[in-house]
Homo-oligomer: A and B are copies of this chain.
């Protein structure tokens, strides 16, 4: 390929790959995925979304990814490896949506990220065998399958729909869905951040048309405000956060610690319409 054409290709398609895992920072496991990606896509930019997903909680990985992917360049490949089934037979899924590609085991992650109706493919052993990758280990699909697969897709050498048949039935979303009935919304805490903010599954869109919204959590009631700065230091507060969902925070403290709550805690929002 002539340099000019190559440059044009590079301009058009700078491979970006994000990684979301429960691997933590100990040991070389995340680094190994990156090593393999760079072997298959030497110019890839690899971004850690987070490696602190609660162990074996695919729902949390799905949640972070759902709330994050739109901020990445179109063409980005998002890999989520949170795998309670390590070492048992389990499908690997691929789906394209809004110009992004998503790769995860069939453990409920993708249905958290993708709206119903998006076509999901499952990696076929035949396609995999044709790639000439080393034989995968039983235990580290992240390194042995997801990494080269992400590299191939991010580099434009493969597409989600190429890698295998349409998956007609996948494990459903592993995260509870918040529901609204009249002016009452029922949700729960689905993730925590570094500061102990309690992040719920209540999307801002569920609040539409509601006024004077009051959030109930752990028996306490608090008005929904528009930003952290409007609460007094040391007080409980609730707001729609930068991810577009209701969050319960403790101004200049940790809501998780103060309320002694974590993932799964029920949260209700009520208002007038």
Contacts and interface: CB of A to CB of B under 8 A. Distances in A.
B42 A73 contact: yes
A234 interface: no
Interface in A34-62: 34-36, 38-39, 42-43, 45, 47-52, 55-56
Given A7-B6, A31-B50, A68-B28, A194 B23 contact: yes
Nearest to A48: B31
Contacts of A34: 47
Contact of A47 (B22, B31, B47, B143): B31
B6 A86 contact: no
B27 A227 contact: no
A85 interface: yes
A257 B102 CA distance: 35
A200 interface: no
Contact of A193 (B27, B86, B191): B27
Interface residues of A, number: 68
Contacts of A3: 3-4, 7
Interface centre among A35, A42, A137 (most CB of B within 10 A): A35
Contacts of A76: 35
Q: How many copies does the complex hold?
A: 3
Contacts of A140: 241-242
A109 B57 CA distance: 36
Interface string A9-24: 0000010101010111
Nearest to A65: B28
Contacts of A55: 195
Contacts of A194: 22-27, 29
A71 interface: yes
Contact of A252 (B18, B50, B56, B65): B56
Contacts of A84: 252
A28 B67 contact: yes
A6 B11 CA distance: 11
B38 A229 contact: no
B29 A14 contact: no
B51 A25 contact: yes
Given A28-B50, A34-B47, 10 more contacts: A3-B7, A14-B43, A20-B28, A26-B192, A26-B194, A27-B192, A28-B67, A30-B48, A38-B73, A39-B71
